[in-house]
Amino acid sequence: MHFSVHSPASGFTLKLTIMPRIGSTPMSFPEFHGATRRLVLWNLAAYFALALAGLAAPVATGLFARSLEFTPGLFLSGSLWQPFTYSLVHPTLLGTLFELLSLWFLAGFLENFHAPGWVTSLYAVSVLGTALAATAIYACAHTLGFSPAEVSLYGCFGGIFGLLVAIGALYGEMQFMLFPLPIGIKARYLVAIYVMVAFAMLLFGEQRIYAFAELGGALAGFVYIRLAPRRGLSLGLSEKMYALRNRYYRWKRRRAARKFEVYMRSQGRSIHVDGYGRPIDEDSDDKKRWN
């Protein structure tokens, strides 16, 4: 199974082939369904929408696309939508092809072992982590008296790095093959190579924000797989909300039971309330609970 991952910071493209396990077919594509299909189609639809709009009104479309890209200075000045939109901007056909193929293979691989919500949340957290890292280095540079060049971030490379780190952390022993060389490499070492390339660009390259952002996306993906619920962030949050709601209802029931207890005492009867707020009739022989 072949795929390529492209780094906008370095212009570096690494072609990979997953070595097939028992029961898998060489050169086979992952299933195109669930979160993988949604992520690829969202990015593909955004690319074609901007491309068609550029044919009709190139100047206006260019300005609109630049407003969707992530620029730390503009974000800090009030363009709060940019962390959520920059990953949908794909200026070139070749770069879009590399990114979407990488997204297809990496997300499709992870979706074989995890729920679609988990994969989607991992991708979203990595994209936002990329923007957060770019903002952090931009703000720190200005605090220290430096003036880094305004570099706009675009494309879904941050989410791809998060998916790649997840594979390296969770399935680090899986063998990859460097294409076209017949050299195998474990996933964890492949991730380390990508991190070192991005770190080298951070130290020696001109587009330092790009390099640091890639590291930020990778770090956000790693933090997510360590802390987030295995079934997805959205499902985990919904479970927390339902748990809070149930605790509130139990508190209301206990409160109503205490009021009922006071009322029954005023009527000359003594009752006790259990931990669920349900009164116990002590006058009955079998101590049945009232519902």
pLDDT band at 257 (very low <50, low <70, confident <90, very high): confident
**According to the model, what pLDDT value does residue 197 have?**
75
- Does 271 lie in the same domain as 181? no
Pick the more confident residue, 289 or 30: 30
What does DSSP say about strands 272-273 and 175-178: parallel, antiparallel, or unpaired? unpaired
Q: Give the range of the structural domain holding residue 246, as residue numbers without chain letter.
A: 237-280
51 occurs within a structural domain: yes
pLDDT, the chain, mean? 77
CA distances from 92 to 65, 98, 271 (A): 13, 10, 75
7-42 pLDDT per residue, tens: 554 454 545 544 434 333 334 567 888 999 999 999
- When pLDDT is cut at 50, 70 and 90, the band that residue 60 belongs to is very high
Mean pLDDT across 119-136: 92
The residue type of 141 is A
By the 10 Å C-beta count (0-12 exposed, 13-18 middle, 19+ buried), 59 is classed as exposed
| Same-domain check for residues 260 and 184 | no
CATH number at residue 186: 1.20.1540.10
Question: What does each C-alpha distance from 29 to 17, 25, 44, 156, 200 come to in angstroms?
Answer: 11, 9, 18, 20, 32
How many domains does the structure of the chain reveal? 2
Whether the pLDDT of residue 95 is over 50: the answer is yes
Q: For residue 146, what are its two tokens? A: 């430096």
- Residue 229: cis peptide before it, omega within 30 degrees of 0: no
pLDDT of residue 203: 66
Of 95-109, 181-195, 217-231, 235-249, minimum mean pLDDT range: 235-249
Task: Give the DSSP per-residue string, 176-191.
Answer: EEETTTTEEEEHHHHH
Which residue in this structure is represented by tokens 């931009």?
A: 138
- Which ranges of 57-115 does DSSP label H, i.e. alpha helix? 58-68, 72-76, 82-85, 93-111
The verdict on 142 and 250 lying in the same domain is: no
289 within domain boundaries: no
Residue 248 lies in a domain: yes
Identify whether 209 is part of a domain: yes
Residues 9 and 34 in one domain: yes
Residue 138 lies in a domain: yes
pLDDT tier, 132 (very low <50, low <70, confident <90, very high otherwise): very high
The whole-number average pLDDT for the span 38-47 is: 95
d(CA 202, CA 151): 13
Give the pTM: 0.69
Q: Are residues 154 and 269 in the same domain?
A: no
Same-domain pairing of 94 and 178: yes
Cα distances from 270 to residues 262, 276, 282, in angstroms, run: 9, 18, 7
Q: Is residue 226, in this structure, part of any structural domain at all?
A: yes
Per-residue pLDDT, 53: 93
- Tell me, yes or no, whether 221 lies in a domain: yes
Whether 189 and 255 share a structural domain: no
pLDDT over 70 at 233, yes or no: no
Of 106, 112, 114, 80, nearest to 236 (Cα)?
Answer: 114
Q: Is residue 81 part of a domain?
A: yes
Q: Is it the case that residue 238 has pLDDT exceeding 70?
A: no
